[in-house]
Structures are given as structure tokens and as C-alpha cells.
Amino acid sequence: MKLQGIDVGIVRKGKGRPLLMLHGGGGPVAGMPFADRLAERFEIIAPTHPGFAGTRIPEHFNRVDDLVFLYLDLLDELDLKDVVLMGFSMGGWVAAELATMTTERLSKLILVDAVGVKVGGREDRDIADVFGLPPEQLANKMFHDPSRAPDINALTPEQLEIVAGNRMALGVYTWDPFMHNPKLPRRLHRIDVPTHFIWGASDGVVTVDYGRAFCKMISGATMTVIEKAGHSPQSEQPGAFVDAVFSFAGR
């Protein structure tokens, strides 16, 4: 659909309460098995951030708040109400920012291995520098079971180009300050909907400790830690992930 003059790809599937699902740096996830399970109880609305999955980054986009305002418009345009807003990783950052602006159309917020805040000191590397890690080290941080990391040599040139494009888009949105907004912690008090964090126990990009510190910044927020999962519990442990979503937000 057209938003702010930009063609935004949106997957809609399932029936039930609207679930606005914001993907992370790896690209869209609405086609994964966990999403099919969620679609049994939710109407999933899953936009592709401009720049991901082979799409163009608009000339004037270069920050996470460009996405925040895009999705504020999306909520208005579709006139969505009672929305469960769920974001993964960088999408979690977008979701948290959006919720600090207005929760008028939201009922619940779910942040999955989300980035967006700085929790440590200036010399602490709170968030792994995903652009500065050797591929095998990055896989170790991303996955509980690194053998699940995609083998880029098995991808077609077209698939690999999409992976490279996703990586570029992630860089455009998150490069500096890296993966966070220094002002966000002082704005999180505005979030007045029930908020739940879901975290992979083996996440090495943003650790469980980071997740706990982030969780403490939002009043009343709770957290589920999923064992044997890394940065993407929805793909490594889809069953436990869906259970966590249902028990927090499924009616």
C-alpha cells in the first residue's frame, strides 16, 4: 500500500485481533511457521521496512523514526484499534519508539530481543557490532545452534543480493548512534499498555541481561526467556515463542 508516497509491502493474514508485526534486520518473517501459528488467533499485519527484501530506501529515509512515522500513518490509514504491536530486534526498537508517541490504537506491546536503548556505560558494548564481526562469530551470537545459520554459499545470487540489501538497510537505519536512541529511556514512561519482553536465552547480540535492563525501564513490563534460542527465538523455538505470545496477548 501507499504511505507517504512510498510503496510499502504489507502481508496480511489470519483472523482475530490485529497484530502489527515489525521485522528485524534479517528482513520479513511473516512467512515463517511461527507466523502461521499466530495467524490462528490474530490478524497479522506485517509491513516490510522500506529498503528490505529488495525494496528501495526512500531518498529521505535514514533513521528509525522515519519508520515510526510511517507506521503511525499505517495505523491511521487502516484505522486499526486494539492492536498488539510486536517488534523483533530492530523492529522492537521501532515499536518501542512508536509506543512512546501514542498508544491510542494499541492494546499491548511485545518486544522480542529488541534493541533501542543503551543500558551500560560508554565503553560497554551493549549491542554486538554486527557489522564488525567475522561471519562465524556473528552466527555464534545470533543462534543458539550456529549450524542453523544460513549458508550463504547455498543461496542463489538473487537471494544473496537480498541478504546484502537487508544488511545495507539495517545499516542505514541503525548505524549511529548504533542501534539505539540515547533519548528513548527517558520517554519509555509514556508507554501505558501492558508490555512483554520475549528473549532468547542464548542471544549474544543483545543478552538476556540487556533485555532485563530494558524491561525494567518500562513500568510493569514482564519477560519470558526462551531456552535454546538465540537472537530469533521465533525461528529457533517457534513453539515456545508462540506459547509466550498467546499467554500474554491471545484471548
Stretch that binds another protein, among 99-107, 108-116, 129-137, 187-195 (CB under 8 A): 129-137
C-beta of 161 vs 209, nearer to another protein: 161
Taking the chain, what is the end-to-end CA distance rounded to the nearest angstrom?
A: 29
Amino acid at residue number 227: E
- 194-222: burial string, b at 16+ Cβ within 10 Å, e else: bbbbbbbbbbbbbbbebbebbbebbeebe
**Is 57 or 114 the residue whose CB approaches another protein more closely?**
57
If binding is defined by CB under 8 A, does position 124 make contact with another protein?
no
List 175, 216, 220, 247, residue binding another protein (CB under 8 A): 175
| Nearer of residues 166 and 195 to another protein, judged by Cβ | 166
DSSP 81-126: -SEEEEEETHHHHHHHHHHHH--TTEEEEEEES--B---S-TT---
Shortest distance in whole angstroms from residue 165 CB to another protein: 4
Would you count residue 123 as binding another protein (CB under 8 A)? Answer: no
The answer to the question of residue 163 lying near another protein (CB under 8 A) is yes
Residues 201 and 104: their CA atoms lie apart, in Å, by 32
* Binding range to another protein, per CB under 8 A, among 95-103, 105-113, 152-160, 220-228: 152-160
Q: Rule CB under 8 A: is residue 134 a binding residue for another protein?
A: yes
* Among residues 170, 191, 206, 218, the one that binds another protein under rule CB under 8 A: 170
For residue 194, cis peptide bond before it (omega within 30 degrees of 0): no
Short-list 29, 64, 76, CA closest to 48: 29
In whole angstroms, the minimum distance from the beta carbon of 93 to another protein comes to 17
Phi, psi of 30 (to 5 degrees): -65, -15
Question: Does the protein bind another protein through residue 104 (CB under 8 A)?
Answer: no
* 3-class secondary structure, 208: helix
- Least Cβ distance, residue 40 to another protein (angstroms): 35
Pick from 125, 135, 147, 182 the residue near another protein by CB under 8 A.
135
Q: DSSP 3-state assignment of 7? A: strand
Binding site for another protein (CB under 8 A): 62, 131-136, 152-153, 157, 160-165, 167-172, 175-176
